[in-house]
A = this chain, B = another copy of it.
């Protein structure tokens, strides 16, 4: 495995994460040692990005164990399962949350032993597996995606689907990291990504840290750049992909996909299989989270509009499969048809 670009979480007798609300100004480390803190970190975007939400929630189940380890085994198991339900309610769209928590729940349900110590070991092992699998998947995404990137290319990305959104290698940024490590000359255009500005705050920070050439733009500038032939490829992440390839991702992704289609620019979604929800046929079944109006109305604590203003604030939108050129996954670059077959 190559050098990891960013380390947004680690387990060292406890769960530690970077508080992403504080970036790029400060690197603040949080210890998430109660289920309340884990829930709050996910809910309030201290950590975000579908694969990272998966990893943090998995370790969150270990946190639940430690917080309650004085309970008798059966009560402990029930408490952990209740905490899993709480974590599942933190955010509705990112599939990795459910994927990871379902795997952790299975460990609890399958456990027949009578040693709490053994249950703890198994929970830590499964959380570690989820973490390592994500690291591996993201690196494979990087390797497969790298084949799409030619020397001298200008790549547009939206939001942060980088190391900070995953175990450390990123999804949409993984091909960029691999291409850079292999010495290709590339340039990244970063959409600032209103309202929470994950592009400006996080993607810029990551690319800066990894010395990759980039330019920050406002979301409404991407079309103009495309019309000037200054974008060669668009790569975005995903929060949930349905069996037919319809993709929920950060609000603004759909507009980019339409713009890319109009300008005949390839549009790729990079995501590990843990983001694919094989239980749903189409994107219409995906719940789109509506977030607090103050995310739009206030910036740095100050109103940017009249206080009574009514706003619409969906965190995600839905991009239909026919606007997506392909999916960059750890199994290779897939077309819509391939996804159905994978899901069995």
CB distance from A207 to the nearest CB of B (A): 9
Copies of the chain in the assembly: 2
Query: How far does the alpha carbon of A303 sit from the alpha carbon of B25 in the complex, in Å?
Result: 8
CB <8 Å contact, B219 and A218:
yes
- CB-CB under 8 A from A193, the residues of chain B are 220
A5 in contact (CB, < 8 A):
no
The answer, among B200, B227, B296, for a CB contact under 8 Å with A218, is: B296
- In the complex, which of the residues A25, A259, A306 has the most CB atoms of chain B within 10 Å of its own CB atom? A306
Q: How far is the CA of A131 from the CA of B311 in the complex (A)?
A: 34
CB of B305 within 8 A of CB of A252, answer no
Q: Are A304 and B262 in contact (CB under 8 A)?
A: no
Segment with Cβ contacts to B, from A144-152, A208-216, A331-339: A208-216
- Report B-chain residues with C-beta under 8 Å of the C-beta of A201: 304-305
CB atoms of A223 and B317 under 8 A apart: yes
**Given known A218-B219, A224-B251, A254-B227, contact A192–B259 (CB-CB < 8 A):** no
- Chain A residues with CB under 8 Å of chain B are 24-25, 189, 191-195, 197, 200-201, 204-205, 208, 214-225, 227, 251-252, 254-255, 258-259, 261-262, 296-297, 299-300, 302-306, 308-314, 317-318
